């Protein structure tokens, strides 16, 4: 094992392979900073060019490319409240308020460094657990995956702030929206209104851009100010943000382990991991109910460490069993097969050196991306001092282009505008927006695994041991969240009554 680790690192550090990996890092960082793109687009673009490449160089480049977009997707999330990728949506909740308060640099420092540590933790866990995870992964069948979906939807109670009823209604709206299109189980059309555009359902990128990006841009234009009210302070917070990560090292580590575990389980994916980490942080951190959503750096550290660690976890089922943990992993499997590598036991026996080269690529790519990003953080933070009247038209164009590339339909533009209006009304009326998005993300998963569970086990799937454990944890989480909210009401009740 140690010999294979050394061989993988030695093979990776040859000049040619290292340069290809560096190229993958730069492409991945660029794609992460552009809303609506991300690693899947980059993999799809570069995959055809790897046919004649050395297998180790090609795989290292593609793995590096897929590992780093979740580092630079912080840039649009913090500065413009525009999710760079689906894995950066939760970062907006506290990252953008930090930028508005003049702490963009601090948010960048915390996000980049927690991303680095989370990615390294995921790579280390990947290297340690590949040989022993097969029995554990195989424990999760449809009933267990359904219970994990229920655990995820329970985060609605946590993400709803002081208005849990509004959060539940918003989450229900998200579940209903997820049912638009062709029923994947029985092939029936639901709520399509005879529109071909709705046959495949609504696109997550379009919804997230509409719900989060357009309302923030509209409000900033109405105020007529720059993103940061105190721009000079924004340039000085990088070191402060890095120190915040060390101060909250236990939170970072917990969320990194959570992200790795979510990545290991096929079917959950990057769209959920940041919300789970954010919900976990909000339910466990001291006074989080009072400060999360207003610019708490812990609300940046949690999702950023989790979504980078997720990549290492997603590689476990991909390498060990040939089961793609995400869309990018499915493309990587295609790259393996192009170069004569069969994911599964052969990767752990005949090609163990290449397997560990992949592990090293994940860790080194995260380190390189963080160093490059930190070198330019001050320049990025300066964007926050530009008046929004200048930036808004450019960012709006990017938002609509990102929405259009989802299905290349004119209806994408109409949909993002409608959801932008919905998001703006929800924000103005005090309705939480994250539960709607979470309900949409988990609706399809819950429905699919419920259908399979009922067909395979009947009602008895609810009494499977692992299902009972997960549901018990879910109930405990909801109880703790409600208890925390009651404490907050007691602390603030006198003030609100006075008002």
What is residue 231's predicted lDDT score, i.e. its pLDDT? 45
Q: Which of 168, 212, 202 is nearest to 433 (CA)?
A: 212
Number of H helices, E strands in the chain: 28, 2
What is residue 418's predicted lDDT score, i.e. its pLDDT? 93
For 231, the token pair is 């721009």
Q: Whole-angstrom Cα distance, residue 83 to residue 77?
A: 5
* Residue 368 clears pLDDT 50, i.e. is over it: yes
| Model confidence pLDDT, tens digit, residues 446-463 | 888 888 888 888 888 888
For 413, the token pair is 């533009």
Percent of the chain with pLDDT over 90: 2
A 10 A CB-CB count for 444 gives 18
Across 383-397, b (16+ Cβ under 10 Å) vs e yields: bbbeebeebeeebbe
| Model confidence pLDDT, tens digit, residues 185-240 | 777 888 888 888 888 888 877 887 788 778 877 877 776 655 554 444 445 678 88
Q: Which residue has the higher pLDDT, 142 or 231?
A: 142
Q: Whole-angstrom Cα distance, residue 431 to residue 261?
A: 31
Q: Which of 55, 107, 119, 116 is nearest to 76 (CA)?
A: 107
Say how many CA atoms lie within 13 Å of 200 toward its Cβ. 8
Q: Whole-angstrom Cα distance, residue 408 to residue 416?
A: 13
Q: Sign of the C-alpha dihedral, residues 373, 377, 380, 384?
A: positive
Q: Are 282 and 268 a contacting pair, CB within 8 Å?
A: no
CA 284-325-311 angle, to 5 degrees, is: 60
* Residue 492 clears pLDDT 70, i.e. is over it: no
Residue 401 has phi, psi (to 5 degrees) of -65, -40
Question: To which residue do tokens 């990587």 refer?
Answer: 332
Q: Whole-angstrom Cα distance, residue 213 to residue 224?
A: 17
What Rg, from alpha-carbon coordinates, does the chain have? Answer: 22
Q: Whole-angstrom Cα distance, residue 438 to residue 151?
A: 12
What is residue 233's predicted lDDT score, i.e. its pLDDT? 45
Q: How far is CA 273 from CA 155, 260, 358, 383, 424, in A?
A: 12, 9, 22, 28, 25
The residue extents of the domains of the chain are 2-492
What is residue 197's predicted lDDT score, i.e. its pLDDT? 85
Say how many CA atoms lie within 13 Å of 256 toward its Cβ. 26
For 375, the token pair is 């070198």
What is residue 161's predicted lDDT score, i.e. its pLDDT? 58
Most confident of 1-10, 89-98, 141-150: 89-98
For 385, the token pair is 């001092």
| Averaged confidence pLDDT in the chain | 77
DSSP characters for 362-424? HHHHHHHHHHHHHHTHHHHHGGGGSBHHHHHHHHHHHHHHHHHTTT--HHHHHHHHHHHHHHH
SS3 of residue 268 by DSSP: coil
What is residue 417's predicted lDDT score, i.e. its pLDDT? 92
A 10 A CB-CB count for 131 gives 12
What is residue 216's predicted lDDT score, i.e. its pLDDT? 74
What is residue 230's predicted lDDT score, i.e. its pLDDT? 44
Region 420-435: what's the mean pLDDT? Answer: 86
Q: Whole-angstrom Cα distance, residue 146 to residue 453?
A: 8
Q: Are 426 and 224 a contacting pair, CB within 8 Å?
A: no
For 247, the token pair is 């101060």
Q: Are 303 and 85 a contacting pair, CB within 8 Å?
A: no
Region 21-34: what's the mean pLDDT? Answer: 81
């Amino acid at each position: 094992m140690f010999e294979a680790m050394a061989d993988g690192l030695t093979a990776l550090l040859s000049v040619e392979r290292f340069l290809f990996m560096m190229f993958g890092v730069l492409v991945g960082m660029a794609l992460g900073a552009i809303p609506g793109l991300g690693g899947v687009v980059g993999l799809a673009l570069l995959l055809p060019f790897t046919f004649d490449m050395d297998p180790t160089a090609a795989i290292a480049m593609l793995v590096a490319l897929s590992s780093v977009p979740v580092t630079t997707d912080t840039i649009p999330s913090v500065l413009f409240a525009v999710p760079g990728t689906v894995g950066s949506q939760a970062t907006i909740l506290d990252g953008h308020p930090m930028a508005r308060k003049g702490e963009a640099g601090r948010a960048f420092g915390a996000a980049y460094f927690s991303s680095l540590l989370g990615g390294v933790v995921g790579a280390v866990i990947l290297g340690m657990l590949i040989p022993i995870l097969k029995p554990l992964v195989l424990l999760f069948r449809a009933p267990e995956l359904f219970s994990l979906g229920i655990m995820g939807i329970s985060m609605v109670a946590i993400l709803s702030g002081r208005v849990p009823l509004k959060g539940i209604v918003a989450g229900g709206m998200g579940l209903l929206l997820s049912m638009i299109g062709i029923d994947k189980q029985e092939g029936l059309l639901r709520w399509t209104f005879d529109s071909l555009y709705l046959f495949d359902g609504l696109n997550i990128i379009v919804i997230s851009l509409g719900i989060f990006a357009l309302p923030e841009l509209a409000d900033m234009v109405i105020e007529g100010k720059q993103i940061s009210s105190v721009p000079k302070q924004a340039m000085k917070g990088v070191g402060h943000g890095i120190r915040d990560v060390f101060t909250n090292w236990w939170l970072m580590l917990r969320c990194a382990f959570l992200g790795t575990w979510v990545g290991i389980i096929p079917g959950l994916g990057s769209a959920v991991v940041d919300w789970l980490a954010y919900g976990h942080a909000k339910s466990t951190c001291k006074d989080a109910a009072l400060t999360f959503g207003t610019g708490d750096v812990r609300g940046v550290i949690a999702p950023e460490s989790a979504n980078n660690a997720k990549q290492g976890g997603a590689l476990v089922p991909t390498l060990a069993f040939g089961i793609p943990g995400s869309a990018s992993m499915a493309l990587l499997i295609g790259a393996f097969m192009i170069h004569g590598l069969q994911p599964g036991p052969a990767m752990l026996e005949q090609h163990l050196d290449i397997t560990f080269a992949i592990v090293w690529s994940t860790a080194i790519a995260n380190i390189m991306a963080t160093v490059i990003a930190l070198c330019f953080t001050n320049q990025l933070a300066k964007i926050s001092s530009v008046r929004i009247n200048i930036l808004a038209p450019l960012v709006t164009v990017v938002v609509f282009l990102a929405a259009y590339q989802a299905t290349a339909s004119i209806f994408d533009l109409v949909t993002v505008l409608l959801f932008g209006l919905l998001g703006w009304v929800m924000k103005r009326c005090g309705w939480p927006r994250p539960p709607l998005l979470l309900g949409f993300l988990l609706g399809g998963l819950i429905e699919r695994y419920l259908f399979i569970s009922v067909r395979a086990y009947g009602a008895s799937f609810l009494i499977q041991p692992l299902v009972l454990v997960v549901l018990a944890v879910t109930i405990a989480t909801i109880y703790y969240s409600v208890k925390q909210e009651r404490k907050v009401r007691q602390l603030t009740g006198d003030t609100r009554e006075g008002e």
